[in-house]
Amino acid sequence: MNKPFILVVEDDKPIRKLITTTLETQGYKYHTTETGEASILEAVSRRPDLMILDLGLPDMDGVDIIKKLREWSNMPIIVVSARSEDRDKIDALDAGADDYLTKPFSVEELLARLRVSLRRIRFNSDKILKDASSFTNGNLKIDYAAGCVWIGEKEVHLTPSEYKLLCLLAKHVGKVLTHNFILHEIWGSHAYDIPALRVFMATLRKKIEKTSLQSKFIQTHIGVGYRMLQVGEDT
């Protein structure tokens, strides 16, 4: 990918300045808007590679902007919000955001989240060109045709639920998935609840992370959900 082009949607001037200065230091190209309406127009006309979106805008709620964009776009959206409540993060993620930052955040944190999301776009476009019958992330390999999971040379034996969980996380690698999204995708609506999901996740992690040199494939977002980290070039 050439220099990524990022749309920054933030009505708070000092924060906007912090974000754009950070982007400049890394050579990212960017455009800024301050309202929801303008952000949708610019997203349509400029086709950014990624959007950094403040949830509290003067004219629209950020969650509604995400919903509108997701009707036609799958560009990564990183939500930046002063709201620290889990509920807001969850709503934004469920609407289709990839990740979130809670204000105040550090420049390093912002850059790390950007790298994760940008890597996801690259990864997804690579994957289309590659064989879709398997998934590889570091030394983790899922062979979809055979239904087998490997860490390096060693096969990992998973229960059907653990396998489904791993496949779901792999499908959305780099993206934070909420508890409700996972429950809905894997078991339909009400078969299991969040405590049950925690148990499945704990046994899955034990199996894949103990065997692997990579100690953390799956990141826990307390009160929100989980993300599979992409074993990466630059982190």
CB of 54 to Ca ion, least distance (A): 4
CB of 60 to Ca ion, least distance (A): 11
State the Cα–Cα distance between residues 135 and 95, nearest whole angstrom: 26
Q: Which is nearer to Ca ion, 34 or 86 (CB)?
A: 34
Whether the bond into 48 is cis, omega within 30 of 0: no
CB of 36 to Ca ion, least distance (A): 11
The separation between the first and the last C-alpha atoms of the chain, rounded to the nearest angstrom, is: 18
CB of 11 to Ca ion, least distance (A): 5
Q: Which is nearer to Ca ion, 35 or 73 (CB)?
A: 35
Q: What is the DSSP letter of 101?
A: E
Q: Which is nearer to Ca ion, 16 or 172 (CB)?
A: 16
| Buried b or exposed e, range 46-60, using 16+ CB within 10 angstroms | eebbbbbbbbbbeeb
Helix (H, G, I), strand (E, B) or coil at 219: strand
| Buried b or exposed e, range 141-158, using 16+ CB within 10 angstroms | bbeeeeeebbbeeeebeb
CB of 75 to Ca ion, least distance (A): 21
Residue nearest to Ca ion (CB): 56
Q: Which is nearer to Ca ion, 56 or 96 (CB)?
A: 56
Q: Which is nearer to Ca ion, 81 or 178 (CB)?
A: 81
Q: Which is nearer to Ca ion, 11 or 143 (CB)?
A: 11
CB of 57 to Ca ion, least distance (A): 6
Neighbouring-strand partners of residue 225: 178, 221
Residues that bind Ca ion (CB under 5 A): 11-12, 54, 56
Helix (H) or strand (E) holding 60: none
Q: Which is nearer to Ca ion, 54 or 162 (CB)?
A: 54
CB of 227 to Ca ion, least distance (A): 25
- DSSP secondary structure string, 171-213? HTTTS-EEHHHHHHHHHTTTSS-HHHHHHHHHHHHHHHHHHSS
Residues 123 and 173: beta-carbon distance below 8 Å: yes
State the Cα–Cα distance between residues 150 and 186, nearest whole angstrom: 21
